[in-house]
Structure 1
């Protein structure tokens, strides 16, 4: 008895040009990890490694070769996985320099431990006893495109809207926020914005003051990550709550997580397991945030339904009432069919809808 890992590459194609302050996305590569016991290969765990171009620390030209090397090394170790040794494997076998690979392996091993049925955490969400509130995401584009998205999300029943800012003219972005506030109060619709680090140091506070006029819930990453002193000052002086996102990338050890949060003291942090290194790392961030009374929520990093399913089940492990950023499963023409369904701003798990993994071509 020993575990074996193989992977399959699948390119996801967006239904539209998805604009961010870092550019426009039309497709995204994901690598799916399959882990199984050689004596029972038909039962397998499935995970997803999905680094984000230009953002993940493991976004590098040789990613696929590195993934192959990690799988080959993993396959030489004659491992078995149990609940008690999973954390040991994650710490001592996998390289933290590849957070999306750690996330993929962690998900696949948790799935295998639960019988290879895409059950990562067997909780109320998977059992269809609890639905998770999520925000509706408005992608960047021209004003008309963004306005159309806003209307669609409001018509679909979302009560929390998240809008990307920082790419088009700032005044036009304010007009869009004003359009929502003209029709819905903050008690009716919660508004979040995400700058992806687009604001300049000299104009950030001025823009935060302007945005606060629209009674926003928060802004994600107003300036580029790595500018700790300036970010700390903004968090102290901004009239608008600030959430750290990209700032968390690359922080691998528990003490440095606490040091960063204590230094900056944001109002919120946002956790993307593919970017921070999986659920074990997320738990460390959550524990540190709780110690400092900092709020948090989970966000997907444009994974397919495989990764999204895992993140949603993990989020359901906590009694966190905040809407999660988990509405990205509808982005792709060729996503993996799954039981995940969004209804009126809630992520639901409808077990009667089967998983269809036929588009994933594993070598074994």
Structure 2
């Protein structure tokens, strides 16, 4: 059953400008990879290679050429895939510096191994209609805009809100947090904030003290990655529990992962499979975090519904009670139609809703 792989770029367009500490996003390109089996006509496995601009290790000018090379090698090998050799194929085929390609190829192989039905992991979410609790994401913007987003998320049934902070006006951001807290105590609404590394060594302690007044669940990546002594100190002393995010990107070996978490000792880590190299790589982080009694949750990284579906099904396999960051599927005007729906602050997979996917005949390697 020689497998063949092709890819097709797909540029996703945001419904509204998405403000982050790294700038405003209006569109994002993903590459959809499609694996077929010559002995099973009409069956295809889909995955998504979606490097995140300004953040992914493989956000590089020649990304598509690198993906084309991987596809060429894959197609020359006449591969067969089984649970016992999936990890070997990925390790031998995908360079460590191309994590989003590893993630996308792994998704596609898992899909075709399971019949090409977009059912990569069979569990309560994918098969029995169980929901995944999520946080509602508040993008950066004006005070009025961000407050309107808060109202919208609360009306949609979200009980955990995540707000970007640190790049526009810290005083304004504190006012928004204060406005939410004046109406809802921490038992009613959980608040998370994400600084995307925007704080500095000079202001991080003072800002964390200010944020501590709002009863926050956690703060993601308060300072830029790579400042291990500073981050270790913040993890130890911050009145707001610290969650590492960007700090994990580019750390690939098991030994390096263990050493990093042992040294920094964060209360939480946040896992983005697309940025970490896929599910096998993410599972290593989870195993280490569990050993070190570090909390964790999983988030998508602006993938289309193809990648989001795979990540959500993987996430559901762990039965993690913390709210997950999987609410990005509604961001785009031209997302793929899928069974993924958001209801009352939860993500659901409604099997009665059909997928609309790009045909593999249209996707040819460069």
| TM-score bracket for the superposition, by shorter chain length | over 0.9
Partner of 2:146: 146
**Number of the residue aligned with 1:189:** 189
Q: Match of 1:267?
A: 267
**Cα gap change, 1:132 to 1:49, in 2 (>3 Å):** same
Q: Which residue of 1 aligns with 2:247?
A: 247
| Counterpart residue number, 1:132 | 132
Q: Normalising by the residue count of structure 2, what TM-score does the alignment of the two structures yield?
A: 0.98
Q: CA deviation at 1:210?
A: 0.5
Q: Which residue of 2 aligns with 1:218?
A: 218
1:12–1:334 Cα contact (<8 Å) kept: yes
Aligned partners of 1:261, 1:358: CA distance in 2, in Å?
Answer: 40
The corresponding residue for 1:256 is 256
1:74-85 pair list within 5 angstroms: 74-85=74-85
d(CA) in 2 for partners of 1:314, 1:46: 15
Mapping of residues 10-159 of structure 1, within 5 Å: 10-159=10-159
Distance 1:41 1:270 in 2: 39
Residue of structure 2 equivalent to 1:352: 352
RMSD: 1.1
Q: Which runs of 5+ in 1 are unaligned?
A: none
CA shift, 1:130, in A, is: 1.8
Equivalent residue pairs, number: 364
Distance 1:38 1:201 in 2: 57
CA distance in 1, matches of 2:237, 2:297: 23
Gaps of 5+ in 2: none
Q: How far 1:93 sits from its partner (Å)? A: 1.8
Answering whether residue 344 of structure 2 is matched by residue 362 of structure 1, we say: no
Q: Secondary structure at the match of 2:235?
A: helix
In the alignment, is the contact (CA less than 8 A) between 1:128 and 1:348 conserved in 2? no
Contact 2:198–2:222 at 8 Å: present in 1 too? Answer: yes
Secondary structure of 1:33's aligned partner? strand
Q: Quick one: distance in 2 between partners of 1:320 and 1:230?
A: 29
In 2, Cα distance between equivalents of 1:150 and 1:359: 38
What's the offset of the Cα at 1:239?
0.8
Runs of 4+ in 1 over 6 A off after TM superposition: none
Deviation at 1:358, TM superposition (A): 4.2
C-alpha deviation, 1:168, in angstroms: 1.5
- Aligned 8 A contact 1:336 1:359 in 2: no
Task: Classify 1:3/1:135 alpha carbon distance in 2 versus 1 (closer, same or farther; 3 Å).
Answer: same
**Counterpart Cα distance in 2 of 1:70 and 1:351:** 33
Q: Does 1:321 align with 2:321?
A: yes
- Greater shift, 203-212 or 36-45, is seen at 36-45
Structure-2 separation of matches of 1:35 and 1:314: 19
Do the aligned partners of 2:129 and 2:350 also contact (CA within 8 Å) in 1?
A: no
Q: 2: distance between equivalents of 1:56 and 1:358?
A: 25
Is the Cα–Cα contact under 8 Å of residues 128 and 350 in structure 1 kept in the other structure?
no
1:359: Cα distance to partner?
Answer: 7.7
Alignment-derived partner of residue 228 in structure 2: 228
Alpha-carbon distance between aligned partners in 1 of 2:170 and 2:223, rounded to the nearest angstrom: 15
- Deviation of 1:37 after TM superposition, in Å, equals 1.1
1:42 CA displacement: 1.4
Displacement after TM superposition at 1:36 (Å):
1.0
The range that moved more, 41-50 or 123-132, is: 123-132
**1:164/1:194 contact within 8 Å kept:** yes
